[in-house]
Structure formats: structure tokens, C-alpha cells
Amino acid sequence: MDQLQEKIKKIADLLEESNHVVVLTGAGVSTESGIPDFRSPVNGLWTVVDPELFTIQGFKANPAAFYRAGTPFFRQIEKAKPNPTHTGLAELEKRGLVKAVITQNVDGLHQKGGSRRVLEIHGTLSTASCSHCGRQVPIEEVLDDVEEGVLPPLCTECGEVMKPDVVLFGEQLTPDYGEALEEAQKADLIMIVGSSMEVSPANQIPSFCDNLVVINRTHTFYDQKAKVAVSENTSYVMDRLVEELDSREGRA
């Protein structure tokens, strides 16, 4: 048996032994669906756009520039499809092995992949809201306006600027963050999947649990604490994990 398979068997053991498993995901889950992360030195978002535009101060100062820079990226997210990590986590939830997915991503791919209990602590790019009256619309309406030359896109009710329902730098996290902390405190196993754990305060969530599993392409500072740490492609690991669970249930 290879070392990876041994680790997958151990993860399966931990899933079956635990009563309240929570998964924390990051950008490494979405990159496999063709969505760039923010910080990669080669193709990260910050290599092509000014990070200052994605602060709340930058948005308020120049929302037109925000939309000029962000719309191609937003359209890319809009077209992305779930990958085996998303569908695999949904399958674990369906089998009762995962209670909740806490995600730092804003792409909605966990829901599209079948997960039902998803806490989006950084918000969602599926909708946009008026910064004045709170009117909410699908993000497609706002992006259509931008591509038709309406910069910045404005609320049809009050004429104020529409903002994607994502948490920009300098803003508070969504109410889902409070629920995420509650889930972490109840958890007897937290799986970190596709996150380098560099972003605060999300990187504090695993500290509430003594039993950790890390599945991420690169190492994280939680690796040494984890019961199992796998430095691999998350979809590959998730496929093999589901296969292992299938074999135990006689499905393979």
C-alpha cells in the first residue's frame, strides 16, 4: 500500500469515528475549476489587478474602476463548474459524514456541487446589493449593465451604486462567520481542504478542534498538529477518499 492510500484510509477512519465533522475550504478547491486564487505569484488575481481596488475604500472611491478590473474575473466565476472536490464533499454530507462546509470562497460551487449546509464567511458573488436601499439582484444583471457601458452599475430603485455581495478587504465578515465559529466549537473533526490558512480570521477556525485533517497542495502551519496531512491535488484525494468509503460499504 502506498503512503497516500494509507493516509486516505486514516482519513476514512476518522470520518467514520467522528460525530460532528466540519470542512473548511479555500481557493485551492476552486482553482481546479479554473478560478484563479489571489496570491499565486504566476497567475494569481493580484498579478493582473490592483489589490487596492478590492478594498472597501477602493470600491467607494472608484466603483467604476472596481468593475472594469473585476468583471472579467466575475464572469469567469459565473461560468465555472463544480469539480470532484465539490461533489465529493457533497457526497460526504449526503452520507451523514459531514455536518457543514465553511468556505472562504465566493463562487457558489459548493452549492452547485450538491452541498446543502454551506457557510460563506466571505460572502457570495451570486448576487449584488444596493449600498443605499439594500435592493438585491442576481449578479448577472449588474455585469450585463457593466458590459453595456453602465459604469458603475446603479440601483434601479434609488440610483445608488450596486455592490457584489462579497466581503471586500476592510469589511466585516458575513453573519455566517458567527455560525462557522459555533460549528467549529461543536466539531470533533475539522478537515481543511484547499486552503493555505494564510488569511485571518478564517485561519483561526481550526484552532477550536484538536482533531484536524489537512488536504492542500502546499503545506500549512496546521500540518504538524493534524492527525493526517496530505500535500496533493484536492480532487484526486477526494476521489480516492470516496472510493475508499465505497469499498467499505460494498459499493465498489
Give me the active site residues, please.
122
Nearest to 119 by CA among 163, 176, 65: 176
Q: Give yes or no for a contact between 214 and 228, defined as CB atoms under 8 angstroms apart.
A: yes
Nearest to 98 by CA among 82, 119, 112: 119
Count of residues for the chain? 252
Nearest to 49 by CA among 26, 75, 31, 72: 72
Which amino acid is residue 125, in one-letter code?
Answer: L
Nearest to 201 by CA among 228, 174, 163, 229: 174
Place of cell 478542534: 209
